[in-house]
Amino acid sequence: MSLLIKDATIVTQDNERKVVRGDVLVEEGKIAAIGDFRSDADEVIEAKGDIVMPGLINTHTHVAMSVMKAVADDVTFPNFLDTTFAIDSNRMENDLRIGSKLGMCEMIRSGTTAFVDLYYSQDIIAKAVDDAGIRGVLCWAVLDEEYTTQKGNPLDNCKRFHQKHKDMCRVTPGIGLQGVYVCSTETIQAAAELSRDENMLMHMHLSETRKEVYDHKREHGNRPTEYLEDINALSERCLFAHSAWLTVNEVRALGRNKCSISSCPVSNMKLATGGVAPIPEMLASNVNVTVGTDGSTTNNSLDMFGEMKVLSLLQKASRWDPTVLPAQQVLDFATVNAARAIGMPDLGSIEVGKKADLVILDGKAPNLRPLTLKNAVANIVYSANPGNVRTVICDGRPVMKDWKILTMDERSVVDESEDALRYLTSKK
């Protein structure tokens, strides 16, 4: 099947970060050409005045928690944890399925074509990914048995999930370490070994709160990142979420080991955990920086446009420097850097031979005008919102066209989510 997108402003995110006007030809799920073509494809999308960009990649979320939105707002962090853990322990297959589909509807509507998830029951979430038509790097939650509600050993569960799903087209199994506070050295080292042997992403909450860091230093004598390097758990396959409470030495350790981080500024601000991730220092130390929304209980939104803007503005404000994190750099975080973090270099940019994960924005919307080749990237990062997302394409296949989701019954998912929330909150 071939697809031709006509007359658009194309934000390529290629090595030169070119922005051009023209057409994008997609054949057999890949980008075949960029230029000016006749309308002889199987499907033609007229995009005059619109923006075509790579699909956004959300590098940290808990998608099944979308059905738990607002269950623990405006409370202290300990109260937040108590509330969400109590609900989490009562989850069943049906509400996990509905929550996953609800989150994927929201992600599609906000231009996300791939995401990294950290949760248990990823086999259920994998089915939702298959239905939705987008990509999921699904990291099974791994922690010590004494802290889990999972049946059996979490790492063994992760291995089984990997064996069963490793050959799926748009589902990529990963390892999801909950954090140093519930994972022993033995658990972390076994996970790192699995990551090496199977070339799996190892995703982990790291230095999210000051308490986490200070408790770990009190118990082990060093800070979490120092500890992970000491036990040989750092590598280019590591993607660490939050990473707000880091010293310069820890940042350098992440850079030395070619690690990636997923900064989640909205979640951290909403929970008031303090700390601003040292992004400029990370960039100076060659840490691969990406962006994540976190889950719907800590953010209430899976909107990557909002996350990009907040990330940039928070860094500018905290540094008293408006030149920190310009729009182009932040868009890199959500596209090419994210593709590198998840080990999928054939995503993240619009280049011949790469997979056709594309988003078309309604460039005629007032908030995206005036639109020029020079301001297109700034408009995406500072002005765009999910309402601008007109069409979403993953693997060359439209999953949303002209604001209508094609792969799922969105109204049914929304209606079912109300019943699922009532069920979960009644069990507290």
Task: Examine the pLDDT at 90 and tell me if it is beyond 80.
Answer: no
Q: At how many degrees (to 10) do helices 185-198 and 154-165 cross?
A: 10
Closest by CA to 240, choosing from 208, 203, 213, 276, is: 203
Share of the chain above pLDDT 70, in %: 100
Does domain 2-55+354-405 sit in CATH 2.30.40.10?
A: yes
* Rounded-to-integer distance, Cα 360 and Cα 351, Å: 16
Q: How many Cβ atoms are within 10 Å of 182's Cβ, its own excluded?
A: 17
Residue 369 has pLDDT above 70, yes or no: yes
Q: Is-above-0.75 flag for pTM? A: yes
pLDDT the model gives residue 161: 97
Is residue 264 over pLDDT 90?
yes
Nearby residues of 360 by Cβ (< 8 Å), 6 or more positions away: 5, 8, 45, 47, 50, 51, 52, 389, 390, 391, 392, 393
Break the chain into its structural domains and give their ranges. Answer: 2-55+354-405, 56-341
Mean pLDDT of the chain: 95
* pLDDT-derived band at 280, boundaries 50, 70, 90: very high
- State the Cα–Cα distance between residues 369 and 351, nearest whole angstrom: 26
As a whole-number percent, the residues of the chain with pLDDT over 90 amount to 86
Return the pLDDT at 428. Answer: 54
Tell me the pLDDT tens digit for each residue of 148-160. 888 899 999 999 9
CA–CA separation, 139 vs 203, rounded Å? Answer: 7
pLDDT tens digits, one per residue of 31-69: 999 998 877 889 999 999 999 999 999 999 999 999 888
When pLDDT is averaged across residues 337-357 and rounded to a whole number, the result is: 98
pLDDT at residue 93 is higher than 90: no
Judged by average pLDDT, the poorest of 33-37, 333-337, 347-351 is 33-37
Question: Quick one: average pLDDT of 369-373?
Answer: 97
Tens of pLDDT, residue by residue over 100-136, are 999 999 999 999 999 999 999 999 999 999 999 999 9
To the question of domain 56-341 being in CATH 3.20.20.140, the answer is yes
Residue 427 has pLDDT above 70, yes or no: no
